[in-house]
Amino acid sequence: MSRFTINNNENEFHDEDIRIQFILDHCHPREIPVDDIKLRTHRKLANRSHRRIRLLIVSAAASVAIILSIVLFPRQSVVQEHPRRIADKERVEPLKLLTTKVPTGKTMTIILADGTKITANSRTKVTYPSSFNGKFREVSIDGEAYLEVAHDRRHPFIVHGHGFNLRVLGTKFNVNTYNECNSTVALEEGSVEITTQCKDVIRLRPNHLVSIKRGTVGELVDVNAADYTSWTQGIMNLNGQTVSQITRDLENYYGISITCSPSIARQRLYGKLELDTDMRKALKSISFLSESRCIVNGNNVRILR
C-alpha cells in the first residue's frame, strides 16, 4: 500500500495533517473515509492557494505604490543635498548701488524699483540700490530731495542723512542735508520717525519741521510744508523768510557764495522767486523786493543797500 502525503511548502504540520497521516499508516483501506478525506484535503489546498494569491496581490500593490511614489514625487530622495549647496542657493546677492548727482541749477526725478519717487534738488547726490531684496528699503541723500515713498508696511523705507536716519512706511516729505551741521526735515503727508546719531528719537506729523544739529534734535516747529517743497515746481515761496535765509537756499541751489549787509540780511520778503538756470534772474528779483543792489564776481555775490 502506497502512502498518501500532503507536502506543505511552508513546513507547517497542523493537527489535521497528523490525523490523515496516522490513518494512512494504521488503517485498512476499507476503514478509511476516503470521500471525507478528499473533501477536507481539497479545502485545505484551496485555502492555501487563496492565501498565496492574497500574498501575491499585496506584494504587487506594494510594488505599484513604490513605483508611483517615485514617478509622482521624484524630489523625495534618500540622498540629501549638501548643506553648502543649500546655503549657496539661499545666499542673497549683494545690492548694486547707484549714485545720481544733480547738476548745478537743475533738478532731477528718480523712480526707485519699488515705485518711490525722489525729486532731487540742485547739487544733490542720491545713492540707492537698483532693486530692493532685503528687510529694509534704504537710500542716502546728500543735499535736498522731496520724496514720495511707495507704501510697503513689511519693508520700511530708511533715509540716511548727515547725523540721522529717517524711517517711514509711506509718506511725502522734504529732507535738506546741504549743511552737514544743520539738516532739516519737513513732513507734508503721513508720519516719519527720526533717530539721530546721539540716539534722540522724534516722530513728526504733517506740517512739522525739525532741525538736526550735529547729530541731535534742534527745534521742532509748525510750518506750511508746501513752502519747503515748492522748489520741485521751480519756484521758491517767500512767506516772510529773511534775506539771509533766502540767500542760503540760493547758495545751495547755485553753488555760489552770497554775502549781504546786516540791514538787508534781516529784511523779510514775500512773494515767489523763480529758480531759473541763470542765477542772475533770481538775484535781480531779490534786489527788486529788498530795494538793494547785487554785485556779482564769478561765484561770489554781494548784496548791498
Q: What local confidence, expressed as pLDDT, does residue 17 receive? A: 61
* Range of the structural domain that residue 155 is part of: 102-227
Query: Which of 210, 227, 244 finishes a domain?
Result: 227
Whole-number pLDDT of residue 81: 47
Quick one: pLDDT at residue 286?
93
Residue 10 CB-density burial (10 A; 0-12 exposed, 13-18 middle, 19+ buried): exposed
Query: Is residue 95, in this structure, part of any structural domain at all?
Result: no
In a domain, 5, yes or no: no
CATH number at 293 reads 3.55.50.30
What per-residue confidence (pLDDT) applies to 6?
A: 42
In a domain, 7, yes or no: no
> Bigger pLDDT: 96 or 93?
96
Residues 238, 269 contacting (CB under 8 angstroms): yes
Higher pLDDT, 52 or 213: 213
Inter-residue contact 17 to 48 (CB < 8 Å): no
CATH of the domain at 109: 2.60.120.1440
pLDDT at position 2 over 80: no
pLDDT band for position 41 (cuts 50, 70, 90): low
At 106-136, the pLDDT tens digits run 999 999 999 999 999 999 999 999 999 889 9
Phi first, then psi, for residue 95 (nearest 5°) are -70, 140
Cell triple for 149? 515713498
For residues 211 and 72, the model is more confident at: 211
Q: Examine the pLDDT at 219 and tell me if it is beyond 60.
A: yes
Q: What is the mean pLDDT of residues 23-41?
A: 55
pLDDT of residue 3: 43
Is 3 contained in some domain? no
Q: 68-82, 97-111, 206-220, 269-283 — which is least confidently predicted?
A: 68-82
Give the residue from 197, 227, 257 where a domain finishes. 227
| 247 and 289 within one domain | yes
**How much is the average pLDDT of 223-236?**
94
CA distances from 68 to 55, 60, 63 (A): 20, 12, 9
Task: Kindly state whether residues 126 and 157 are assigned to the same domain.
Answer: yes
- pTM tops 0.75, yes or no: no
Judgement on whether residues 276 and 242 belong to the same structural domain of the protein: yes
Indicate if 129 and 176 belong to the same structural domain: yes
Check residue 89 and give its pLDDT.
Answer: 45
Q: Is residue 97 part of a domain?
A: no
* pLDDT tens string 251-276: 999 999 999 999 899 999 999 999 98
Say yes or no: 111 and 155 in one domain: yes
Co-location of 194 and 163 in the same domain: yes
The verdict on 106 and 214 lying in the same domain is: yes
Write the pLDDT tens digit of every residue in 51-63: 555 554 545 555 5
Residues 259 and 209 reside in one and the same domain? no
The model's confidence at residue 305, banded by pLDDT at 50, 70 and 90, is confident
Percent of the chain predicted with pLDDT > 70: 69
Rounded to whole angstroms, the Cα distance separating 203 from 148 reads 18
For the chain, the DSSP string reads --------TT----HHHHHHHHHHHHS-GGGS-HHHHHHHHHHHHHHHHHHHHHHHHHHHHHHHHHHHHHHH-TT--SSPPPHHHHHHHHPPPPP-EEEEEPPTT--EEEE-TTS-EEEE-TT-EEEEESS--SSSEEEEEESEEEEEPPP-TTS-EEEEETTEEEEESS-EEEEE-SSTTEEEEEEEES-EEEEETT--EEEE-TTEEEEEETTEEEEEEE--GGGGTGGGGTEEEEEEEEHHHHHHHHHHHHT-EEEE-HHHHT-EEEEEEE--SSHHHHHHHHHHHHT-EEEEETTEEEEE-
User: Span 138-166, mean pLDDT?
Assistant: 95
Same-domain status, 275 and 175: no
Is 8 part of any domain? no
Count of the separate structural domains present in the chain: 3
- Assess whether 162 and 125 both reside in one domain: yes
pLDDT at position 169 is 76
Average pLDDT over residues 26-38: 54
Shared domain check, 205 and 128: yes
Q: Is residue 280 part of a domain?
A: yes
pLDDT at 211: 94
b/e sequence 267-295, b meaning 16+ C-beta within 10 Å: bebeeebebeeebeebbebbeebbebebe
Q: Which residues is 260 bridged to in the sheet?
A: 303
63 lies in the same domain as 41: yes
Mean residue pLDDT across the chain: 81
